[in-house]
Structure 1
Amino acid sequence: MHDIRTIRDNPHAFDAALARRGDEPVSDSLLALDGERRARIQASETAQAEQNKASKEVGAAKARGDEAEFERLRALVAEKKAEVAALAAEAKDLDAQLSDMLARIANLPAEDVPEGADETENVEVNRWGSPRAFDFTPKEHFEIGGVAGAMDFEIAAKISGSRFVVLRGAVARIHRALAQFMIDTHVDKNGLTEVQTPVLVRDEAMYGTDKLPKFGEDSYQTTNGWWLVPTSEVPLTYSVAGDILEAGALPIRMTAHTLCFRSEAGSAGKDTSGMLRQHQFEKVEMVSVTHPDDSDAEQKRMLRCAEGLLEQLGVPYRTVILCTGDMGFGARRTYDIEAWLPGQDAYREISSVSTTGDFQARRMNARFRPEGGGKPAFVHTLNGSGLAVGRCLIAVLENGQQADGSVTLPEVLAPYLGGRLTLTADGRLA
């Protein structure tokens, strides 16, 4: 959410920042609506003052027996009372319109975000590991011998439809092991607090984390009004809604492993094979709530937390900073980590780490009290995948595949797999 006072102070800068995203200028429309709202408020205050003045004069007219003046003043009081109510209602309606307009405008990009129209203009900032040289043609995850029988899309389609999967046996265990490894690493090494959250949330939580009103079609809503979370960013971030935190309590660093649900609106025909793009998936999320002065450093810290997981798993990756045309709606700056998938001969996104600045905090009124006193200020919020579990499973399976259909698994998973680090060609752990 944007501060209308900032837009009033420098509308041209606001429009110029939106233009970097490829968005149309909106300051004229916003300020016109804001002007109408403020005019109604001022007129209401004037009418209220006139009502108050007339109310005082009513008693004086009655005391001196001036019946005609008494009746005139009584009528004036009633007239002004109705005028105040009408103007207040108009101001309230205009305020709701203004809030709705502001809620649909994307966050402004940070100055260091590269300009560009789409993902082809993202800028690589880091690369780790070298893609393995195979002496056979590597397969996609669902084609690998030891995986094919345990990754069932037909049964999932019978149960739920397209873009779902049923995992069985050793592959299901590897998937679970990856999630446990991520959570344990974040808690034991990265200093995050594990949180178990609901996956059903209210409108307010979706709105506060910028998923509503603009992107309702991207999520699922139950018949009784709850939303299924697109990511645990929603409940983790919204947990501080309405709070005034002590500065000394910052940063708050949280992680959660949850189911996530996305309608994948607009992705028809894209990544239809395998489990790369699903309606239901699991993700380990990282969320930080920070002092504004610390949010840029916190984003880099979170990025390293996510990159470190892939390094421990031995999965080559590259990190890119998203250009202005490819950033998400609420992001001020986003880094994507792309894991190497030999079956696709391509790097594919496995994590996004974003800072929203105070964009979400304004929507949910999350503030902190500065040390030494002073007016409460908005916190900054950040979120990042650490990591998408299903995509991580894909990366581990494809990078570890062998010519005979087996898969060699990363050493760091040994404690979670009973020390067995080979997925055999017939789908067993050995």
Structure 2
Amino acid sequence: MRKTRSKTLAAVACAGVLALASACGTSSGGSDGGTKADADQGGFTAPDVPMQESIGDPEGQVNILAWPGYAEDGSTDKSIDWVTPFEKESGCQANVKYFDTSDQAVQLMKTGEYDVVSASGDATLRLIAGGDVAPVNTDLLTNYADIAPFLKDQKFNSVDGQMYGVPHGWGANLLMYNKDVVKPAPTSWGAVFDDASTYAGKVTAYDSPIYIADAALYLMATQPDLGIEDPYALDQDQLAAAVDLLKAQKGNVSEYWSNYLKEVAAFKSGDSVIGTTWQVIASTIGDSVAAVLPEEGSTGWSDTWMISSEAKNPNCGYLWMDYITSPEAQAQVAEYFGEAPANTKACDLTTDTSFCDTYHAEDSDFASQIHYWTTPISQCLDGRTDTECTDYGDWTTAWTEIKG
């Protein structure tokens, strides 16, 4: 499952989006833009997989597994090509395969056929726990120092202080509304939950089990007695409360969307007037809508380039991870895909000089309010060790029940 224009450009090119992001953080967030991974992450440990110590001679090729839009070679649009310059610079031929969902990415990585993957937060811990990816030696990445600090050492991309990848792009799941219909302007997610009946049949929601975290985030702020500390760490009772909230919402939902273009069309036609969105969608629709970060904060995504534990071309894999997080490549990907670049030096290179302001690329206060998609696992990521939390399989079953 995933997100954006690129993933949704899979909507334009082929049809589909999100890989969206991972949950991490407390209700208030941290001053550095996110909650750092705890030393034990609620008991989660990673398999003993060796980390590469140096980069040797390029093998001549690299097998890349990516969201559509992350590794463009000019075949979609001749003017959109950052793969060819990499090939010329590195001597590594890039063999790119696109995936449509995070579940698909996880399964494909298990085959051992791919060297690197652009994993979203709803896939990263699954890949780490399965031993499918290796720790990343960030000392070997010349561009790592320029990655925004608030994207590093998070619960979804690191374990016990060890990074398992390099951050790529990120964004928040925002609340979008039709300015002519929804008045006064909403400031809370309550507009699509407790007050959803006000816009019955016109509410839209993201179509994925990870959307359960949006309900959990709202409950974390409005029903403190539930004891939710992390919207991705839910015990059975907390999950049940989120499911009940989403079942109540369902009666007011016009449609669930995962395709970027589907939500654009729904808002333009008036079939939807309020619901969760991404900045790229709001920008595409234009002045008739507004998108806000509600007072409770939001969920969101931060994608991570990870390297396979069975990489056949690890040297080219490292060269790719370094190249794709360079300012030049980041500027191109961010504008094409519609997300904030992880390398903030890219902001000086975007063709739209206001792009990074629009996407809050350098705004750590904004980022601190985002609970990045994180794979729900049985070990409670909020640090609890006296209970077992629900995992992604439980969430998938619950989502099927919610939609009926």
Measured against the shorter chain, the TM-score band is under 0.3
The structure with more radius of gyration: 1
TM-score with structure 2 length normalisation? Answer: 0.24
Which protein has greater RCO, CA pairs closer than 8 Å, 6+ apart? 2
